[in-house]
Amino acid sequence: MHDIKYIRAHAEEFEQKLKRRGEDVNVEELINLDTHKREIIQNIDRMRERRNAASKETGVRKKSGQNIDELRSEVLEIGAKLKEAESNLRELDERINNWLLPLPNIPSDQTPEGLTEKDNEFIRDWGEPPEFDFELLDHLAIGERLDILDFKRGSNITGSGFPVWSGAGAGLERALINFMLDLHTNEYGYREMMTPFLANRNSMEGTGQIPKLEYDMYRIDKDDLFLLPTSEVTLVNLHRGEIIPETDLPIKYVAYSPCFRREAGAYGRTTRGFLRTHQFNKVELVRFEKPENSYQVLDELLGNAEEVLRKLDLHYRVVKLCAGELPFAAAVCYDIEVWAPADGGRWLEVSSCSNTEAFQARRANIRYRPVDGSKPQFVNILNGSGLATSRLMVALLETYQTQEGSLIVPPVLRSYMGGKTLVTA
C-alpha cells in the first residue's frame, strides 16, 4: 500500500516511478478523492465540536429551568448530518483503498531501468557449468528411469502440473527441505515456523497477492480462503496489526510450505515437468527490519539463499531485476538462477529475494515502537526463497546423473537419506 501523504506531496514523482514499471497512472482522481475526504473530516470535526457544545449548553439550561427545545432540535439535526457525513467518509475510504490496492510498489533507486528480462542486470555467478562425456537426460527422463517421479499419476489424481514423488525421490525432496531448514535455523539464526497452509483475504491483501493477482491463486469459495502461493503470506501476517517493540527487531522467520499457483500460460517443451507446476515445495525466509538496516540485510538474506546452492555444489548466477520485471510488492529484487545442463543447458529461477520497504507493512499495518518512545514507524519487510525445490530438483537431477543410469546423492544431503550415496533403478 502506498502512503497517500507521499502521493499528495509528490504526485508527479509517484507517477514517474510507476511508469518505470510500465504502469501508466494518473493520480488526479485519487488526489480529488483525498481532498474531498479531508473536507468531510474537517466538517465532521466541526459538527462534533458544535454538538458537544450544544449538549453542554443544554445541560446548563435544563439545570436552570430554561427552555431547551431549540438546542435539543439542533443536537438531533447535527446527529443526523453526522451520520450521513460518516457514511460518506466510509464510502470515500473504500474508494481510496480500492484505488490504491491494485498498484504495485514503486521501484527503488537501486533498481535498474527497463521493462523486460533483457534489461535485468547480471551481478555475479558461482562455480562452473558441469561437463559430461555422455548424452544427458532431462529431469523427467531421469525420474522415469529411476522410478522416483510420476507426473502421469499426479495428473490422474488432481490434474496436470501436480507431481508425485516416490521412493528415493520422496526421500530426496524431504532431505532438501530439512537441509534448508537446518541451514537457515542453525547457521543463520532464523526462527522456524509452521504456519497454516491456507490464508484469508486480509492476509493475501496484506502481502500484495490480491486483488491484482487473485486470478492466479487457488481459492476455496465457501470459506473465502486461499491455498498458499508462498508461506511469505502467513509469515508476514503473523504480525498484522501489531506494534512491535524495537528491542524485538530484527525478526527472522523461516518456514516450509507447499505452494499452489495457477501459473497461467501455454505449455510446451520449455515448461514440461517441474518447469511449470501448480504445486511445489518451498522454504521461505522473511525478515522484519528497521528501515535504515533493510538494504544491508537484503544482501545478507541473498547470501543465505545462495549458500544452499554452494553447499549443493550447483552452478548459479544472481541477477538484479529491472523495474518492469519486479514482483508486485518489491522495491528491489534479486533472482538466483541455477544451471540445469540437459537440453543444451538453461538457467532456472530458484529464488527471488526482495526488499518491499514499507509497502507490505503499510498494507498489513505492521509497525515498531522506537525505544525512545517516539511515534511508531512502519517496519521494512524482506522476503526470499531459501529455496523452492521444484526447479532446484531439475538442476540437481540433471547435474548429478551418471552414465550408468544412477543418481549421485549430493554429499550435503546424505545424512538426511540414511547415508545413501547413490539412487539406482
Q: Which amino acid is at 233?
A: V
Question: Which position has the grid cell 469459495?
Answer: 221
Q: Which of 354, 385, 391, 398 is catalytic?
A: 391
Residue 276 annotated in active site: yes
Looking at the DSSP assignment, which residues form a beta bridge with residue 289?
380
Q: Please tell me whether residue 27 adopts helix, strand or coil conformation.
A: coil
Q: Which of 351, 352, 354, 385 is the catalytic position?
A: 352
Q: Which of 21, 261, 287, 363 is catalytic?
A: 261
Q: How far apart are CA 352 and CA 330, in angstroms?
A: 10
Residue that has been written with the C-alpha cell 515437468 in this structure:
273
CB 326 within 8 A of CB 333: yes
The reply to whether 391 belongs to the active site is yes
3-state secondary structure of 411: helix
d(CA 92, CA 359): 21
Q: How many CB atoms lie within 10 A of CB 224?
A: 10
Choose, from 95, 242, 349, 369, the residue flagged as catalytic. 349
Length of the chain, please? Answer: 425
DSSP 275: G
Catalytic entry in 21, 51, 276, 367:
276
Q: What is the 3-state secondary structure (H, E, C) of 211-259?
A: CCCHHHCCEECCCCEEECCCCHHHHHHCCCCCEEEHHHCCEEEEEEEEE
Strands 219-220 vs 225-227: parallel, antiparallel or unpaired: antiparallel
Can 124 be counted among the known catalytic residues? no
Nearest by Cα to 293 from 384, 187, 380: 380
What is the rounded distance in angstroms from the CA atom of residue 118 to the CA atom of residue 114?
Answer: 8
Taking 3-state DSSP, the helix, strand and coil percentages for the chain, each rounded to the nearest 5, stand at: 45, 20, 35
Q: Are 360 and 206 in contact (CB under 8 A)?
A: yes
Task: Work out the angle between the directed axes of helices 28-63 and 69-100 (0-180°, nearest 10).
Answer: 160
Helices 139-146 & 389-399, crossing angle to 10 degrees? 80
Please give the single-letter amino acid code of residue 351: S
* Positions marked active-site: 261, 276, 349, 352, 391
